[in-house]
A and B are shown apart, each in its own frame.
Chain A
Amino acid sequence: EPEVTQTPSHQVTQMGQEVILRCVPISNHLYFYWYRQILGQKVEFLVSFYNNEISEKSEIFDDQFSVERPDGSNFTLKIRSTKLEDSAMYFCASSALASQETQYFGPGTRLLVL
Chain B
Amino acid sequence: GEDVEQSLFLSVREGDSSVINCTYTDSSSTYLYWYKQEPGAGLQLLTYIFSNMDMKQDQRLTVLLNKKDKHLSLRIADTQTGDSAIYFCAETPGGGADGLTFGKGTHLIIQP
Binding site for B on A (CB under 8 A): 31, 33, 35, 41-50, 55-56, 58, 91, 93, 98, 101-108
Known: A56-B98, A58-B99. 18 other contacts (CB 8 A): A35-B100, A41-B104, A42-B102, A42-B103, A42-B104, A43-B90, A45-B100, A46-B99, A47-B99, A48-B97, A55-B96, A55-B97, A56-B97, A101-B96, A103-B100, A105-B35, A105-B44, A107-B42
Among B45, B92, B97, B102, the residue within 8 A (CB) of A50 is B97
Chain B, interface size category, equals 20 to 34
Q: Which residues of A are found within 8 Å of B98, using beta-carbon distances?
A: 48, 56, 101
Q: Are A43 and B30 in contact (CB under 8 A)?
A: no
> Which of chain B's residues have a CB closer than 8 A to the CB of A101?
30-31, 48, 92, 94, 96, 98
Contacts of B105 in A (CB 8 A): 42
Q: How far is the CA of A44 from the CA of B41 in the complex (A)?
A: 16
CA distance A45 to B98 in the complex (A): 9
Residue of A at shortest CB range from B48?
A: A102
A105 close to B102 (CB less than 8 A) = no
Distance in Å from the Cβ of A53 to the closest Cβ of chain B? Answer: 10
Bound Cα distance A49, B90 (Å): 19
